Structure 1
């Protein structure tokens, strides 16, 4: 359960960064908001029923944000670690 709590904390950090960082292009903002919505759904599920595709989505998002928004990319990488620790 500590990994689940860590994931919840990282998602909250990501939400905060979405509001604090310089304005993102609408397309990227919507992509991050959609990813956050996926996390919220995943957090409600039992680990055995969680989709591994969310890890792929996070990895892709981290790559896309790496150059222009390294702080957001770092948070996404932390989320990947949390997901991995949860076996997702």
Structure 2
């Protein structure tokens, strides 16, 4: 089930953040806000298109890919799973 895979990837992102990478407070807050949105999608098990969520994750990938490649990788996995879910 894609929602379970998305949950695993979200957990992996949380683990990356638990390692306290050198992020600014704004970056950390933005990632937590994004993770909260993703968690809500998982809980609602929605199957509808929500371009704003996918766009937000894509923007986060661009923002973190140079300085925090592990976080960007976890976010890319989330994008793939969201696409598989039709979101």
In the superposition, the TM-score normalised over structure 1's length comes to 0.91
Partner of 2:17: 18
Q: Which runs of 5 or more residues in structure 1 are unaligned?
A: none
Residue pair 2:49, 2:86 contacting (<8 A) in 1 also: no
Partner of 2:68: 69
User: Once the two structures are superposed, what CA deviation does each residue of 1:15-60 show, in whole Å capped at 9, x if it has no partner?
Assistant: 1101114231111000000001101111122323463311000000
> RMSD of the alignment, in Å?
1.3
Matched residues, number: 87
Q: Does 1:33 align with 2:32?
A: yes
17-26 vs 46-55, which moves further: 46-55
Give how far 1:73 is off: 0.3
Residue pair 2:3, 2:45 contacting (<8 A) in 1 also: no
Residue pair 1:7, 1:82 contacting (<8 A) in 2 also: yes
Q: Does 1:55 align with 2:49?
A: no
